[in-house]
Structures are given as C-alpha cells and as structure tokens.
Amino acid sequence: MQSGQQTTNLALILGTILIGMSPIQGQQKIGTRQIHLDFHTSEHLPEIGADFSKEQFQEALKVANVNAINIFAKGHHSWSYYPTKVGHVHPNLDFDLLGAQIEACHEIGVLCPFYFTFGWSHTDATRHPEWCARNQDGTMITTSSYNFDAKPDTPKPNFQWINMCCNTPYHDHMMKQVEELCEMYPVDGFWFDIYQINRLCYCETCKKRMKEQGFNVGNKQDVQRFQGESFKKHQRELSKLIRNRHPEATIYFNGVTSTSRGAANFTLKLYENNTVQDLEDLPTTWGGYDKLPIQSKYFLKAGYPVTAMSGKFHKAWGEFGGFKHPNALKYEAASMISWGANCNFGDQLHPNGLMDMDTYKNIGVAYEYVEKIEDFGVGGLPTARVGVWRSFDSDHDEGVTQMLLESHVNFNVANVGNEDLTDFDVIVVPGVPCLNEADAARLNEYAKAGGALLVIGEGAMDRSRQTLLLDIGAEFVGSGTYDRDYLVVGDSIEDGLVNSPFLCYTPGLRIKPASGTEVLASIREPYFSRTYEKFTSHQNTPYKLEDAPHPGVIRNGNVIFFAHELDRMYFIHGARLHRDLFANALKLVHKRPMVETKLPSAGRVSLLHQAEQKRYVAHLLYGPPITRGQCEVIEDLPTLHDVPLTVNLPVDVKKAVLVPAMKELPITKKDGKLTVTIPQFSCHCAVAFEYE
C-alpha cells in the first residue's frame, strides 16, 4: 500500500493523461465514461474490503472502458473507508481502501472523485441527535415514516434515513473531514450527496437564525428560502476549502438539479456552486426515459458541462443482484451522448471489495459504443428554432417535452442564459402559471415582432390565476365549470384526428375571443359533472350536442392558445389525440424546422452544434421501452431502414457523414433544405453536417 504522499506523486506523473476526457471548464477534468460506485456498508457486515485487489479493480474498469469512477470516502452509515482522525473508520475495515482505489485508478489514468454523504448519515444521527434536521413538532425529519420504537427484528422500509442539518455543528464536522481528505490525497473531485430542499428544517438553530435574519418561521416560502441560503452558504464554504487546495477538482452537490423536489432548486439556483451538473435519473423506475432531454438542454445552455446518471440496476440504487440488459445500457448511453452529456452508470460494490465482472462486461457493451460516438456529442450545444419556456413544474414541462419528442420536434429551453428570444421562431408556454409581468411583457413584444407563441391553458395567466398576462386575442371569463369536457377540432388542425368530440380529462378555461380571433376548435360540455347526485354509466358524462360559447383552441395572428392543460393531461393520461392536436397546431406556426425525420413515436432526434469542429450533428435514437411490472424496460433494438433526415441550417454544408460508420452520405438539396437517407440503423446513429 502506498502512502498518501506516494499516491500524490503518482497522480502528478499521470496528471496529463486525458484519454477519453471531455472538454474541461477551466482546468477541471471530467470523464466521459463514468461509474458511480455506491458503498453504503453497515457495521454488521464483516471483513469490509477484505478481497479487494488492485488488479481485479483495474481489470473491471478496463473491461467496461471506464475513464472516471466516483469512489467512497464516507457513506450513509457514517463510516469512512480510509484512516480518518476526524470521522469514524468502518469498524470492520483494516486498511486504507480509499487510498488503494485512488492508486488503482490513477495508475491506469482513471479519474476518481470522492463520494461524501451529507444529508443522510445514520451513525452521526444516532450519536448526535442535535445534528439532525427537525420537523415543526420537533421530531426528526426522515425520508419515510420512521419507527423509532421498532423492535430489532422489525422489517425496515427501503430508502429510509434520518436527515441532517447543515446549520448545526455537523457542518463543522464535515469541513474538518473534507479538509483532512484534501490534505491526505490527490483530489480529482468531490461528489456530495443528499441536498433535499423540500425537507424543511425547524431545529432550534434554524429557527434562531431565521429570526435573526428576518425570515418568517410561520411562512413556508420564507423557510424554504432560508433553507436554500443555508445550503448555499454550506456549499460555498466547502467549495472554497476544496479549491484552495485542489483548484482543478470538480465539485458537485447532488439533489440540487432534481426536478422531483419542486421548483425551488431552480428558482433559488441551488446548483450554482456545482462545477459540473450531474443529472441523476434511473429511468426504469424514476419516471421514464424523457427526463434527460430538457434537463441537459437547460444546463448546457446555462454554460455547464453535464453528466447524465443512470444505473446498472433493474430498479434503483442499493439493489444487489439487479441487472439491466446490455441493450438498455447501450441505448441509455447513446441517449446521453445524443443530448450532449457525459455518461455515468451507478453500481454497488460488494462489501468484500470485489468488483462484479458481469456488471462491467455489460457496461462495457455500452461504453465501447460510446467511445465511437462521444466526440460527436459531448461538447455540443443544443440548437433549435422551437423554444420551451420552462415552468419548473415537472408534470407540465415533461408533458410538453414528451409531446415534442414523440412528434420529433427539435427544441431548446427559452428562459435560460442570455439568448435573444428572436433566435426562436416559436416559443411554447406550458399550461401552468409561470410568468411574471416582465416575462409576459417580453413574450408579448416577441410576438408583436413576429415571433410565434403556442400557449397552453393557465400558462397565459398570472400566478393568482385571475388575469391574462399574455395577449392571446381573448378575455378570460373563468375556469371550467364541469369536471371534464370535450374538444371538436376544425379543418386547419384536424389532420389524423377524429371528427367526433374527444375527451379532455380536465376542463378548459372559459375565454371570450376578440373580434378577428380565429376559432380552431370548439368545446362540448357534458350534461353534468359526475357526482353522487348525478351520474351515468361508469365514468364521465357524455357531451351535449351543441358547442359551448367558449372555444377550446384559438389563433390570434401568430399566437395559438389551448384552453386545456394539454401538457399535463398528456403526461398523466397519454392520449395520442392530445399530442397530435398539439403537433398539428405547432405546424401552423413552425415553418422552418432545423431538423425533420420520420421515425416511430418512440424514436428521438437531437440536434447539437459543435462550433469548434464546424459541424451540426443530428442524433437519431430508437429503442422502444415497454412496461414490465413496476419498470420501464428496453430490451429489443429493432433495425430501421431508409430513414430520411432533412435539415435547414444557417451554414453552407460541405458534406454529411454517418456516425459511427464514418461514411459520407449523398445530399439532396431543395428549397434551402438538405436531405440524406440513412440506409439503416439500430439503437442509435448520427449524421455530422460539416461546414467551412
């Protein structure tokens, strides 16, 4: 075993090895093919790391074609895996496992950021209850209903931990241990875990500080803002400590990019202390395969390098013996590259320290392919003429995203970064109040200047849901008065739809069109809402035979308004009629798509611009997920043949190259558009359109 100093010298020797690394922000190095190696080990497990072998560890990384791996300094049980004098070494570990893993990684040119738990630290919580986060009633905050009086043999629910508070001496304890790590080892980066803004702390320290700083303890929004500022202060202090000793290290605080915690991560910008944005998602059980695109587009446009995180598990973290099929891993990895992200798959090391070779053989299938295509994805920026105004309401944003992805409409995020709105031909506003007066004024001016708006339901309204902020060519009358209603579409948006009234699972807003506003679809109301007093049949009441006085879809010049929350309805119910209605309306105003193709609805298309390489790269994906039990599973990767791809780009394209085959494709030019035909592909391919 080498000492920390010897390991440091080795790192300096190998510090210039950047094989397979992505472009760096400043001097930081980020692996394109990463592993996140979980190692939360109980004190009841014997002989921790006893069978660890540098050679076997390295062999696993080589088999998987890995160039970065997150390794554990401290896990959720509070145990450390190195000879710490600040924290607590795992009682059944008798050597420096962290140091041995660093040596193994750096010897073969693999980066190894340190994992360090924050929000969940079980032994710290039981030894120091004063460090724990508290509910308003003084009880400890836990991830699920925690039975503190449980008998020793009572079964314990999954993912159940006690939350820690960063305003207690726990923060100081963390600072000292991170400082110790910075002094003992070469540091590629730190990966801090569990920052959950939705779990608000009311411990005595927090309440005292809130009062001192002028926050209202009785106001949830105030408490959340205080919690956010507390997180950011804690993060800034850790970041300063690390940068003072290792200025090139990556720093990431996990949880602050999540969409499942509500909008606060984004409105409070809790991610701003990260040097790289890791987007944690286990699509099989955490909401599907369409969360990554809008997340990656948002953070890439905000100027951050992005890493997409999934897992080798069938379900989720902590699942020993769970495996995805290699086809699923390949599809997910190709998808990550397609959206401009580095790749990361989570694994869990056995307590004995041996890597599971079947896991790394499976991941190797994916990463062998990634190595062929990563140069055409990582470092690219999403570009599109359709913009989505992100509301940070996950149901609405993901509903819009899914309708666009399934319709193969290339899009970007409109409300991030400094991009001029006029770079977009069309901006889609989701169906939830998400605009302030300044935002609305900016969008109204954009529309007056010739830009098109596609506005869904309450997205046109102020946050009190009383006033229209956007000029949609109508006045607001009120909310819908029935539990559900129906739509009847007109000629201009009827393509592929039924002529009969079709069901909407929530009622549309009642609006009164102004003179000159065109009605594109009418509403039919039911005879009555379904109640105990009045009901018919099994579900919803049938429609009346005459149109309601308030329409369902209107057009005012280049502004189209849907009275219904089509996005959330599609996210929850998945009715194709709603998606196709949205797509038909979009076609009325989206006349210059940058990329067009014909794929099955499960196909995906992404367009990235790599300015330094002077090329636009269109990525195509096809790996239809199916639901089995509680999981979405990708198993089959059918081959598609003779797939057309048309682009309309603001450059003079010299040639089109099929990736990864690296074969030039013939180009057909017509009306400023370029079309190529992809002879066949399975899972993924890309076409690089090179210009001078």
Q: What pLDDT digit, counting tens, does each position of 494-524 carry? A: 999 999 999 999 999 999 999 999 999 999 9
Q: Where in the sequence of the chain do the CATH 2.60.40.1180 domains occur?
A: 595-691
Give the pLDDT of residue 4. Answer: 35
Using 50, 70 and 90 to split pLDDT, how confident is the model at 585? very high
- Evaluate if residue 475 carries a pLDDT over 90: yes
Closest CA to 267 of 344, 198, 207, 178: 198
Q: Where in the sequence of the chain do the CATH 3.40.50.880 domains occur?
A: 384-588
- Evaluate if residue 16 carries a pLDDT over 80: no
Give the pLDDT of residue 287. Answer: 81
Give the span between the Cα atoms of 331 and 289, in whole angstroms: 10
- Evaluate if residue 167 carries a pLDDT over 60: yes
Give the span between the Cα atoms of 379 and 385, in whole angstroms: 20
Give the span between the Cα atoms of 336 and 463, in whole angstroms: 35
Helix, strand and coil percent figures for the chain, each rounded to 5: 30, 25, 45
Give the span between the Cα atoms of 278 and 310, in whole angstroms: 10
Give the span between the Cα atoms of 252 and 233, in whole angstroms: 14
The H or E element containing residue 7 is helix 4-14
Q: Which amino acid is at 297?
A: K
**Hey, how many other C-beta atoms are within 10 angstroms of the C-beta on 195?**
25
Q: Which stretches of 97-249 are assigned E, i.e. beta strand?
A: 114-117, 189-193
What would the two tokens of residue 363 be?
Answer: 């991941």
Q: Which residues contact 566 (CB under 8 A, 6 or more apart)?
A: 399, 403, 431, 456, 457, 578, 581, 582
Q: For residue 96, what is the DSSP state?
A: -
- Evaluate if residue 163 carries a pLDDT over 90: yes
Give the pLDDT of residue 420. Answer: 85
β-pairing, 342-348 vs 381-382, is unpaired
Closest CA to 578 of 569, 589, 591: 569
CA dist 546 → 235, 483, 526 (Å) = 60, 18, 10
Q: Are 338 and 30 in contact (CB under 8 A)?
A: no
Give the span between the Cα atoms of 636 and 159, in whole angstroms: 31
Fold observed for domain 384-588 = Rossmann fold (3.40.50)
Q: What is the pTM of this model?
A: 0.94
- Evaluate if residue 24 carries a pLDDT over 50: no
- Evaluate if residue 417 carries a pLDDT over 90: no
The H or E element containing residue 372 is helix 357-373
Give the span between the Cα atoms of 39 and 37, in whole angstroms: 6
DSSP string, 599-631: --TTEEEEEEEETTTTEEEEEEEE---EEETTE
- Evaluate if residue 1 carries a pLDDT over 80: no
**With pLDDT > 70 as the criterion, what percentage of the chain qualifies?**
96
pLDDT in tens, 602-631: 999 999 999 999 999 999 999 999 999 999
Using 50, 70 and 90 to split pLDDT, how confident is the model at 51? very high
Please compute the mean of the pLDDT values over residues 394-414 and round it to a whole number: 97
Is 539 in a helix, a strand, or coil? coil
- Evaluate if residue 9 carries a pLDDT over 50: no
What would the two tokens of residue 189 be?
Answer: 């980066």
HSE, side-chain direction, 13 A CA sphere, residue 510: 12
Write down the mean pLDDT value for the chain.
Answer: 95
Give the pLDDT of residue 405. Answer: 98
Please compute the mean of the pLDDT values over residues 647-652 and round it to a whole number: 98
Is 101 in a helix, a strand, or coil? helix
Give the pLDDT of residue 450. Answer: 97
Please compute the mean of the pLDDT values over residues 44-61 and round it to a whole number: 98
How is domain 595-691 classified at the architecture level of CATH?
Sandwich (2.60)
pLDDT in tens, 520-541: 999 999 999 999 999 999 999 9
- Evaluate if residue 365 carries a pLDDT over 70: yes
Give the span between the Cα atoms of 115 and 119, in whole angstroms: 13
Closest CA to 520 of 545, 485, 484, 557: 557
- Evaluate if residue 6 carries a pLDDT over 50: no
Using 50, 70 and 90 to split pLDDT, how confident is the model at 269? very high
Residue 391 backbone dihedrals phi, psi, to 5 degrees: -90, -20
Give the pLDDT of residue 103. Answer: 98
Q: For residue 111, what is the DSSP state?
A: B
